[in-house]
Amino acid sequence: MKAIVPGPTYAEMLNPRDPAPHAAGEMDPANLFRITWRGPDRQVRHVALPKELTGTEANIIVLAGRCFPSGSHKVGPAYATLLEGELAGEIEPGVHRVIGPSTGNFGIGVAYIALLKGYAATVIMPDGMSKERYQRIRQYGGELDLTPGTESDVILVLERTEHYKKDPHSKVLAQFELLPNYRFHRYVTGRSALEAAERHGNGRVAAFVSAPGSAGTLAAGDEIKARFPEAVICALEPTECPTLFNNGRGTHRIEGIGDKMVTLIHNVLTTDCVQLVHDDDCVMGLELIQRQPRLLERILGLAEGRLAGLQDLLGISGLCNILGAIRLARSLGLGPEDNVVTVATDGFDRYPSVLEDLVRRQGPLEEGTLTGWFESLFRDGKPPKILDVRPLDQKQRLFGYKKDVWAGFGYSAAYLERMQSQSFWDAEYERVEEIDRTLLRQRQAAR
Ligand SMILES: Cc1ncc(COP(=O)(O)O)c(C=O)c1O
């Protein structure tokens, strides 16, 4: 058997001994120990958006996912799922190929982690995603198995995945189904988000906003709610694909989110509300912040360079999260002491082709057009479309949707029933310590 390449525990991802270990290039396994929200200064990497931009008094705090190895925080769940499979003796280097069902970033993370840990990888994803995603996967040596469609056709990816589940030499890192994704985000992202908020306003979290794909990131909300039970946890969806909102389905342009289902690992008990955001608002918002910062600074009366901190930091779903966070803060009437935390899953490097496409669709972008976009995205006084999903009938609707999808993939009624209780999620979360102990023992034995 090939030796297992060691990586960090959950506790080390939250608090690495050295957040910037020496690595001889991107492909050095030492980078496994850089899977963390922290930068070299040990602080959780985040920005508090300028209030001139957001137009709200509340602090909008954005955690920066692009600084993770491979360029998005989705590498965290990819690593955690592979790690737990190795610890359970289900995945062995030299024996298994790892399979990453994805719409891109998780697949990039799987290809990258597989490379560092010595596995072959296949990423199953739709054929209509941004071309930068396929390039990255190939660059990391991953093979592609493409299914027809885009973000909203993830169900085809899941169906293709079933075929690999039957192959004894393949192991599927099933982000929509497996709980390491939940554990990574509740423990590592949730605690990092709480820590980032300590530096702003009253140090608490009034709301956490995330647009779910797998709904892994939303699990950070469970940790935030455990500390601040009054915090509002808001899931965002594209207006064009309002699945959690009203069982609606449609195609949309926000890559990584809005996958037309309630994922198995989504703890719907802690989701308080669902808000809709138009997909093109996010693409236009990215154009403004990434490519028109000087114009924005002029509109906002800011000194040149004030928005420089946002350069390259955001992708389309990041814009979705930001617009959702601003609108939620406004509708909750939050003030200068209140913190709304959200994430930017990846950065601009994955989207130049999407902005080129925007220009193709819209024609040359005149100053008047861009100013109009700014007004409608950031200063629109209309109430956002927010649905309260705390009432029992809403929870039952969401549980029902989940059952419809996942019973079809072989999950038992008893298991799906157990997921309707918070104790299921807390017990899964508590496994973090035992998993860490097992990994430390394995690392010790390998010395
Ligand atoms: C760009 C982007 N944004 C958001 C998400 C959603 O994150 P999660 O799967 O944790 O819900 C993803 C997931 O792949 C993504 O790639």
Does 133 sit in the ligand 1 pocket, CB within 6 Å?
no
pLDDT reported for residue 153:
85
pLDDT digits (tens, 9 = 90+) for 184-236: 999 999 999 999 999 999 999 999 999 999 999 999 999 999 999 999 999 99
Strands (E), 110-214: 120-126, 143-147, 170-172, 207-210
Does 215 sit in the ligand 1 pocket, CB within 6 Å?
yes
* Both tokens assigned to 391: 């009432």
150 has a pLDDT exceeding 90: no
115 has a pLDDT exceeding 90: yes
pLDDT reported for residue 183:
98
In the numeric block, the tokens 């999903």 are attached to 389
* C-alpha dihedral sign at 247, 249, 253, 257: positive
CB 131 within 8 A of CB 66: no
Average pLDDT of the segment spanning 306-330? 97
pLDDT reported for residue 121:
98
167 has a pLDDT exceeding 80: yes
Does 107 sit in the ligand 1 pocket, CB within 6 Å?
no
Is residue 130 very low, low, confident or very high in pLDDT (cuts 50, 70, 90)? Answer: confident
Average pLDDT of the residues of the chain: 96
Distance 256 CA to ligand 1 centre (A): 4
pLDDT digits (tens, 9 = 90+) for 411-438: 999 999 999 999 999 999 999 999 999 9
pLDDT reported for residue 2:
87
Residues in CB range of 363: below 8 A, 6 or more apart:
none
User: Which ligand 1 atom sits closest to the C-alpha of 346?
Assistant: 1
Write the CA distances from 6 to 16, 54, 340, integer angstroms: 14, 43, 36
Return the minimum-mean-pLDDT range out of 150-164, 259-273, 365-379.
150-164
pLDDT digits (tens, 9 = 90+) for 67-99: 999 999 999 999 999 999 999 999 999 999 999
Nearest Cα to Cα of residue 317 among 340, 348, 359: 348
259 has a pLDDT exceeding 90: no
151 has a pLDDT exceeding 90: no
Is residue 45 very low, low, confident or very high in pLDDT (cuts 50, 70, 90)? Answer: very high
Is residue 140 very low, low, confident or very high in pLDDT (cuts 50, 70, 90)? Answer: very high
Residue nearest to atom 2 of ligand 1 (CA): 256
Distance 327 CA to ligand 1 centre (A): 20
Does 105 sit in the ligand 1 pocket, CB within 6 Å?
yes
Does 147 sit in the ligand 1 pocket, CB within 6 Å?
no
pLDDT reported for residue 40:
95
Angle at 81 between CA 167 and CA 37, to 5 degrees: 150
Residue nearest to atom 3 of ligand 1 (CA): 256
What b/e readout covers 408-440, taking b as 16+ CB neighbours within 10 angstroms? Answer: ebebeeeebeebbeeebbeebbeebeebbebbe
* C-alpha dihedral sign at 248, 250, 253, 258: positive
161 has a pLDDT exceeding 90: yes
Domains and their CATH numbers in the chain: 37-69+190-388 (3.40.50.1100), 75-174 (3.40.50.1100)
Distance 73 CA to ligand 1 centre (A): 9
CB 184 within 8 A of CB 289: no
pLDDT reported for residue 381:
84
152 has a pLDDT exceeding 80: no
